[in-house]
Structure 1
Amino acid sequence: MKHIVVDPINRIEGHLRIEIKVDEATGKVEDALSSGTAWRGIELIVKGRDPRDAWMFAQRICGVCTTVHALGCLRAVEDALGIEIPKNANYIRNIMAASQTVHDHTVHFYHLHALDWVSPVAALKADPAAAAAIQNTVLEKYSLNFTGPVGFDTSAYPKEFPKATTAYFKEIQNRISKVVESGQLGIFAGHYWEHPDYDVLPPEVHLMAVAHYLNMLDRQREIVIPHVIFGGKNPHPHYIVGGMPCSISMNDMNAPINTERLAVVDSSVNLSIDLTNNFYVPDVLAIGDLFVKAGFVDGGGLAGQRVLSFGDFPDERYTGIANGDYFKNLLIKSNGVVENFGQGVAKAVFHPLEGQDLSDPNVLAEGVEHSWYSYPEAGKDLHPWSGVTSPQYTGPKEGTKTNWKYLDEAGKYSWIKTPKWNGKMAEVGPLAKYIVVYTKIKQGIIQQPTWAEQMIVDQIEAVSKLLNLPPETWMPTTVGRTAVRGLDAQLNAFISKYFFDKLINSIKAGDTTVANSATWDPATWPKEAKGVGLHEAPRGGLSHWVTIKNGKIDNYQAVVPSTWNACPRDSNAGYGAYELSMIETKVKIADKPLEILRVLHSFDPCLACATHLYDSKGKELTVVRTDPYL
């Protein structure tokens, strides 16, 4: 048995340490630990602050997720204060959320995850002419030609297709060769390029994928242009409680939103559709097909056992979330939990997740058995509205507090709490969302799917036909988790277009309202209030929880996707998604656990969301004054 430590895991956001115990004779992982190695203090930072400002602090949880925590926080505060945002604000927020998902998935696959499948070193062996031929074959065989809702028209803009000439791939190969020959691999350094898993793909696919890696470095910034137009900047675009700060005028060319700027958003949205249709989806399916054919159907972890999703994209305005109105007109009604999907959709068990469930501590709670926190009552989980953020760092099992050797699997070993649904672990993410929607439709729970829900089913069945495998076989795997992220990017590109068209039609009808300021004055607020903000972020189900007393935040908790997935084990609930997925993954070379990196990266870890920085003595570190009159 060999004990392997990888610290930090690279190509993720934040700080993640993993430890695995591998039987070198069989490659079986006998045990695995997932540890977030920094503490998130955002809950304490916003305590006592004006709820109208909280979204700006919460949004700074992460610079990769950029806008998702602002949206979660806004929805929580608006839920608490009973604020209903105008329909234009809802459309704009949905456009920004969908474009964020397309951007996040695209950057994750090409620039963080692709190097677990693709090798720039192997690309040097490729025949450029053969690579050009394969590029055309991939586009023909692996494109999923969806067009979105009836009436969609994207013909007004030039199309983006991958280049497929011998000269082009020869030039890319020459550029790679110069980097490799220099001995300075830069971002490609320190990896397991000699690992046998890189032989699964032919050299020409490696060359094609590296070319697209470089393409997306250039084009990804154009995907989030809606953030710049509607929110003023990216990352961390601007919002306001009650709607959006971007006034609309079709007559004033100096207005934040006018005809010229709407045309720029339209171009960005149409580009996103092209990039997902013609680059991302064909690439991920071509690579996934070859890996599945080579027998790589492991790494499912919790996905086949239990997944959770909140649903998202309210089609029109809603009065609140905790009261259940939010769930009534969602474009994607994935709210719920599905158990046992790995046994087939007919045997899967669906559990609804509605408004009344959100306030039930028996349904949603967090534990700290193996987390470096303490709760008032040992062993008792807490609902997020009653959540406590009290650090209790105990150090590792072996080593010192500042120089760890091995973590204490029997004690506390992570700065991440353990969220639970009905006392059980659950995986969240695009894969979870797709499993829930597919199950609900196939079991007749959703009888009249929206166009987006039907597209999810059509995507799953198209991939199942392509792989010649049922969904329960390919979806709850590392390949499936990665492929569904690409499908989700394609779906969200069309969602951006859908809500952009709704916004244009609303403006044409004479409605330019983007904010509701009726309850802006704290004097209109109740003395005590609490709310929850839900969002199906790129990494999965996100929830922000706020309690407000006398106009100030009294308590705040953020339960993020990487908290659900990266959490430490629980003596009653078992392993979290990361740990179980590692245990279910075979390792060929213990000292070069490429398979472990690949399965972890398939979740798109964002440990900055799950963990943050703290001072061990609790003292103030520094104060930055931005107002000279304070």
Structure 2
Amino acid sequence: MKRIVVDPINRIEGHLRVEIKVDEATGKVEDALSSGTAWRGIELIVKGRDPRDAWLFAQRICGVCTTVHALGALRAVEDALNIEIPNNANYIRNIIAATQTVHDHLVHFYHLHALDWVSPVAALKADPAATAALQNTVLEKYRLDMPGPVAYNTDAYPKDFPKATTLYFKEVQNKIQKIVDSGQLGIFAAHYWDHPDYAVLPAEVHLMAVAHYLNMLDKQREIVMPHVVFGGKNPHPHYIVGGMPCAISMNDMNAPVNSERLAIVDNAVNLAINVVNYFYLPDILAIGDLYVKAGYVDGGGLAKERVIGFGEFPEGKYRGTTSGDYHKNLLLRSNGVVENFAQGIAQAVFYPFEPSDLTDPGVLAEGVEHSWYTYPEAGKDLHPWSGVTSPQYTGPKEGTKTEWKYLDEGGKYSWLKTPKWKGKMAEVGPLARYIIIYTKIKKGIITEPTWAEKMIVDQIEAVSKLINLPPEKWLPTTVGRTAARALDAQLNAYINKYFFDKLINNIKAGDTTVANTDKWDPSTWPAESKGVGLHEAPRGALSHWVVIKNGKIENYQAVVPSTWNACPRDSNAGYGAYEASMIDTHVKVAENPLEILRVIHSFDPCLACATHLYNNEGKEIAVVRTDPYL
């Protein structure tokens, strides 16, 4: 048995360390630990502040998620104060959220995860002419043609296709060759390029995918333009409690939102659809098909046992979350829990997630058994409204507090808490959303699916037909988790179009209202109130919890997707999603655990969302400058 440490996990947001115990003879992982290695302090930073400012602070939790924590915070405060936002504000927030999901998934795969599957070194062996032919074959075989919900398409013709010429791929190959010859791999450095898994794909697939990696460095900037138009900037667009701060006028060309700027949004929405349909999804399906055919159907872990979701995209006005109003008219009703999906739909069990569950500490709670925190009552989990963020760092099992050798799996070993549903662990994310919607429809729980829910079923069944495997065999795997993210990107690209069309029609009808300020004055608030904001973020089910007392934030907790997935184990609930997925993964070369990186990256870790580093005075600890010219 060999103990392998990967610290830090690179190509993620934040700081993550994993340790595995692997049997070198069989490649079986016997145990695994996931440790967030920076302390969360955001809850303490917002405590005592004006709740109207909570979104501004919470949004700075992360620079990759950029906007999701703002939405969670806004919904929490609006729930607490019983504020209903106007239709335009709801549509705009939905557009920003869908844009974020498409952008996040694209960046995640091409710039954070793709190099676990494809190799720039292997791309040097490719025939550029054969790669050009392969590009056309991939588009013909793996393009998942899904009609969008809006009949009128403002895009005159598809403008963004992958290049498929011999010269183009030859020039890309020349660029890669120069990097390799220099001995400085730059963005392709520090990886296991000699790992046997890279032989699963032909050299031409490697070259095609690396070319698209470079393409997306430019495309991703244009896709996120709706954030700039509606929110003023990206990252961290602007919001306001009660709606949006972007005034709408079709007559004033200096207005934040006018006809010219709506045209910019329209172009970005159409670009996102084309980029997902012609680059991202075909690449994922081509690569995934080859890996699945080679027998790579491991890494499912907790997804096989239990997934949870909260639901997303309110179609119109709603008043509050804990009231149940938020869940009455959702485009994606992924609220619920599914157990045992890997055993097939007949054996899968669905549990509804009711509004009353939000207030019940027996349903949602966080524990700290293996976390570097202390609770008032040892061994007792706390509901987020009663959550306590009190650090208690104890150090590793072997080594010193500053120089770790091995973590203490029997004690505390992570700065992440452990969220639970009814005392159980659950995986969140695009994979969870897809499993929940698919199960609800197939078991007749959803009898009249929305166009978006129907699209999810159509996507899953199209992929199942393509790779000749039932959903329960390929979805709860590392390949399936990665594919679900791409399918989710396609879905959200069309959701973007859907809500943009609603916004345009609403403006045409004469409605330009973007904010409800009836309860802006704190004198209109109750002396004490509680609220929760739910959001299906790109990485999964997100919840922000606020307690407001005498006009100030009395308590604040954020239970984020990477907390659900990357959390440490629990003696009663078992392993979290990261740890379970690593245990469910076969490792070929213990010293080069590419498979472990691949399965962890399939979650798109965002440890910055789960952990934040400040000293006791709330001051900056250190700045590391990587640009010599700054």
TM-score, length of structure 2 as denominator length = 0.98
* Equivalent residues of 2:150, 2:497 under 8 A apart: no
Match of 1:292 in 2: 292
Tell me the amino acid that sits aligned with residue 230 of structure 2. F
Match of 1:257 in 2: 257
Match of 1:220 in 2: 220
Shift of 1:151: 1.8
Match of 1:627 in 2: none
SS at structure 2 position matched to 1:52: helix
Match of 1:583 in 2: 583
Match of 1:146 in 2: 146
Match of 2:627 in 1: none
Shift of 1:149: 1.4
Shift of 1:325: 0.8
C-alpha separation in 2, matches of 1:80 and 1:444: 34
Indicate whether 1:90 and 2:90 are aligned: yes
* CA displacement 1:326-374 (0-9 Å, x = unmatched): 0010000000000000000121000000211100000000000000000
Match of 1:242 in 2: 242
C-alpha separation in 1, matches of 2:88 and 2:411: 50
Indicate whether 1:323 and 2:314 are aligned: no
SS at structure 1 position matched to 2:35: strand
Shift of 1:157: 4.7
* Equivalent residues of 1:543, 1:559 under 8 A apart: yes
C-alpha separation in 1, matches of 2:450 and 2:118: 36
Shift of 1:563: 0.1
Indicate whether 1:35 and 2:40 are aligned: no
Tell me the amino acid that sits aligned with residue 269 of structure 1. V
Match of 2:619 in 1: 621
Match of 1:427 in 2: 427
Match of 1:593 in 2: 593
**Inter-CA distance 338–152: structure 2 relative to 1 (3 Å threshold):** farther
Q: Give unpaired runs (5+ residues) of structure 1.
A: 624-630
Indicate whether 1:183 and 2:186 are aligned: no
Match of 2:626 in 1: none
Shift of 1:621: 2.5
SS at structure 2 position matched to 1:19: strand
Shift of 1:201: 0.3
Match of 2:484 in 1: 484
Shift of 1:262: 0.2
Match of 1:193 in 2: 193
C-alpha separation in 2, matches of 1:437 and 1:483: 16
**Inter-CA distance 352–96: structure 2 relative to 1 (3 Å threshold):** same
C-alpha separation in 1, matches of 2:619 and 2:614: 9
Question: Within 5 Å, which residues of 2 pair with 1:55-454?
Answer: 55-149=55-149, 151-454=151-454
C-alpha separation in 1, matches of 2:92 and 2:611: 29
C-alpha separation in 1, matches of 2:154 and 2:2: 55
C-alpha separation in 1, matches of 2:426 and 2:170: 46
* Equivalent residues of 1:341, 1:472 under 8 A apart: yes
C-alpha separation in 1, matches of 2:520 and 2:423: 38
TM-score, length of structure 1 as denominator length = 0.98
C-alpha separation in 2, matches of 1:579 and 1:446: 32
SS at structure 2 position matched to 1:556: strand
C-alpha separation in 1, matches of 2:189 and 2:256: 44
Tell me the amino acid that sits aligned with residue 139 of structure 1. L
* CA displacement 1:378-416 (0-9 Å, x = unmatched): 000000000000000000001000000000000000000
* Equivalent residues of 2:155, 2:267 under 8 A apart: no
* Equivalent residues of 2:385, 2:556 under 8 A apart: yes
Match of 1:533 in 2: 533
Tell me the amino acid that sits aligned with residue 210 of structure 1. V
C-alpha separation in 1, matches of 2:619 and 2:214: 40
C-alpha separation in 1, matches of 2:198 and 2:60: 37
C-alpha separation in 1, matches of 2:131 and 2:64: 33
* Equivalent residues of 1:160, 1:274 under 8 A apart: yes
Match of 1:502 in 2: 502
* CA displacement 1:155-187 (0-9 Å, x = unmatched): 425421100010110011001000001101011
* CA displacement 1:199-244 (0-9 Å, x = unmatched): 0000000000000000000110111100000000000000000000
Tell me the amino acid that sits aligned with residue 287 of structure 1. I
Tell me the amino acid that sits aligned with residue 142 of structure 1. Y
* Equivalent residues of 1:342, 1:476 under 8 A apart: yes
C-alpha separation in 1, matches of 2:601 and 2:152: 34
* CA displacement 1:497-530 (0-9 Å, x = unmatched): 0000000000000000000000000000000000
C-alpha separation in 1, matches of 2:176 and 2:5: 31
SS at structure 2 position matched to 1:548: strand
C-alpha separation in 1, matches of 2:150 and 2:42: 43
SS at structure 2 position matched to 1:60: helix
RMSD: 0.9
Shift of 1:261: 0.2
C-alpha separation in 2, matches of 1:407 and 1:126: 43
SS at structure 2 position matched to 1:109: helix
Tell me the amino acid that sits aligned with residue 617 of structure 2. K
**Inter-CA distance 129–274: structure 2 relative to 1 (3 Å threshold):** same
Q: Which 4+ stretches in 1 moved above 4 angstroms?
A: none
Tell me the amino acid that sits aligned with residue 193 of structure 1. W
Tell me the amino acid that sits aligned with residue 164 of structure 2. A
Tell me the amino acid that sits aligned with residue 30 of structure 1. E
* Equivalent residues of 1:157, 1:267 under 8 A apart: no
Match of 1:626 in 2: none
Shift of 1:152: 4.4
C-alpha separation in 2, matches of 1:320 and 1:408: 42
SS at structure 1 position matched to 2:242: coil
Match of 1:456 in 2: 456
C-alpha separation in 2, matches of 1:253 and 1:440: 47
* Equivalent residues of 2:150, 2:501 under 8 A apart: no
C-alpha separation in 2, matches of 1:178 and 1:492: 38
Match of 1:12 in 2: 12
C-alpha separation in 2, matches of 1:209 and 1:134: 11
C-alpha separation in 2, matches of 1:389 and 1:292: 43
* Equivalent residues of 1:30, 1:583 under 8 A apart: yes
C-alpha separation in 1, matches of 2:579 and 2:199: 27
C-alpha separation in 2, matches of 1:347 and 1:156: 47
Shift of 1:74: 0.2
* CA displacement 1:524-543 (0-9 Å, x = unmatched): 00000000000000000000
C-alpha separation in 2, matches of 1:158 and 1:356: 46
Shift of 1:112: 0.2
C-alpha separation in 2, matches of 1:591 and 1:304: 28
SS at structure 2 position matched to 1:504: helix
C-alpha separation in 2, matches of 1:147 and 1:461: 15
How many residues matched?
621
Tell me the amino acid that sits aligned with residue 421 of structure 1. W
Shift of 1:620: 4.2
C-alpha separation in 1, matches of 2:46 and 2:141: 51
Q: What fraction of aligned residue pairs are identical, expressed as a percent?
A: 81
C-alpha separation in 2, matches of 1:622 and 1:348: 48
C-alpha separation in 2, matches of 1:545 and 1:619: 24
SS at structure 1 position matched to 2:51: coil
C-alpha separation in 1, matches of 2:618 and 2:483: 45
**Inter-CA distance 344–107: structure 2 relative to 1 (3 Å threshold):** same
SS at structure 2 position matched to 1:533: strand
C-alpha separation in 2, matches of 1:122 and 1:132: 16
C-alpha separation in 2, matches of 1:45 and 1:525: 22
* Equivalent residues of 1:157, 1:270 under 8 A apart: no
* Equivalent residues of 2:297, 2:479 under 8 A apart: yes
